[in-house]
Amino acid sequence: MGESAFWMRFVVAILATWRVAHLLAREDGPGNIVVRVRARLGGGPLGTAMDCFQCLSFWVAAPIAFFVASVTAPVELVLTWLALSGAACLMERFGHEPVMIQPIAEKSEGDLPHGMLRTAADDARQPRAINGDALRADAPH
C-alpha cells in the first residue's frame, strides 16, 4: 500500500471511529435503537461502556484498525488501533456543545441590570471602588 493510500485510509478510519463511537455513546440512533440497546444493557459492564465515549472509541477502533494497517505487522496494527482511538477522543474533545441562547429575565424594581447597557440611574445605585474602597455614587466623597 502506498503512503498516500495509507493516509487516506487512516483519515477515513478516524472519522468512522469517531462517528460510530459518538452514535453509540451520545445519540439516540435511528428509530431510537441505540437508546433501547443502552437501556437493556443497564448498569452492567456493557451498559457502562456505552456511556463512555473513550471506552467505546477504544473498542470501535479495534476492527477498523484492520482496514488501515497490515495484518502481517502486529506492532503497526496495535499502534494504528491506539492512534484511531486517540484521534477520535481528540475530535470529541474539540467538539463543542451547541450554544443555547436564552432570553434575559426582565429587570424588576430595584434590581440592577445584567446587560451591557445601563442608565445613569443604574450607575448611581452601583458602588464604585476607589483605591479598593467601595463608595456609592450618591455618598459624600
| 23-66 pLDDT, tens digit each | 999 998 899 999 899 889 988 888 888 889 999 999 999 999 99
Angle at 33 between CA 29 and CA 39, to 5 degrees: 110
Residue 131 lies in a domain: no
Residue 128 lies in a domain: no
Which residues lie closer than 8 Å to 59 by C-beta, 6 or more apart?
49
* Domain hosting residue 13, numbered range: 3-94
Residue 119 lies in a domain: no
Residue 139 lies in a domain: no
Residue 138 lies in a domain: no
The model's pTM: 0.64
| 98-119 pLDDT, tens digit each | 666 777 766 555 555 555 555 5
With CA atoms as reference, report the closest residue to 13 among 55, 68, 56: 68
Residue 81 lies in a domain: yes
Residue 55 lies in a domain: yes
